[in-house]
Amino acid sequence: MNKLILSIAFVFFSMLSFAQNQDLPTTMVRDLNGKQVPFNETFEKGKVTLVSFWATWCIPCKQEIKNIKTKLPEWQKEADFNYMTISIDDSRATAMVKTYAKSQGWTFPVYIDPNSDLKRSLNFQNVPYTMIVGKDGKIVMQHTGYEEGSENELFAKVKELAK
């Protein structure tokens, strides 16, 4: 049964990963200090970036980020890339997002999409939603959902792109 679920998840993951060379939207997001910044300017030019969209109420989101955070130091020894998260919580939950990120010891950038403007720009419905942005600043891969261990598939793609 687990093999069947894993196979279905892999097919689903593969089907949704074909968003090749999509430009990043200029939609505004906020950092944890409330400063607004265009989404496309949150990326370091010439560097691959893994982006996790999440919400404080989303258990799978928080598990994915926790697993990535645990592996991040080792992964960043193997590949030169950045990692960031974007909360889709509404503006009333901004304080909760900031508190949660701090309590988890997150040292990577955390942004907030309080009105779901970026979510609409990227045309996704649910979190967890994860994307990889290539060195050229274009979306190379995106997928929705999280299965334990699927972060390793993401890293394999990041590693390939970071070469």
- Does residue 52 contact residue 68 with C-beta atoms inside 8 Å? yes
Cα dihedral 153→155→159→161 (10° resolution): 80
All structural domains of the chain with their residue ranges = 2-162
93-118 pLDDT per residue, tens: 989 999 999 999 999 999 999 999 99
Fold of 2-162: Glutaredoxin (3.40.30)
pLDDT in tens, 16-67: 444 456 889 999 999 999 999 999 999 999 999 999 999 999 999 999 999 9
Which pLDDT belongs to residue 147? Answer: 95
pLDDT, position 8:
44
- pLDDT digits over 113-148, tens only? 999 999 999 999 999 999 999 999 999 999 999 999
Name the residue type at position 120: R
pTM of the model: 0.86
pLDDT at 20: 52
82, 59, 64: which is closest to 151 by C-alpha? Answer: 64
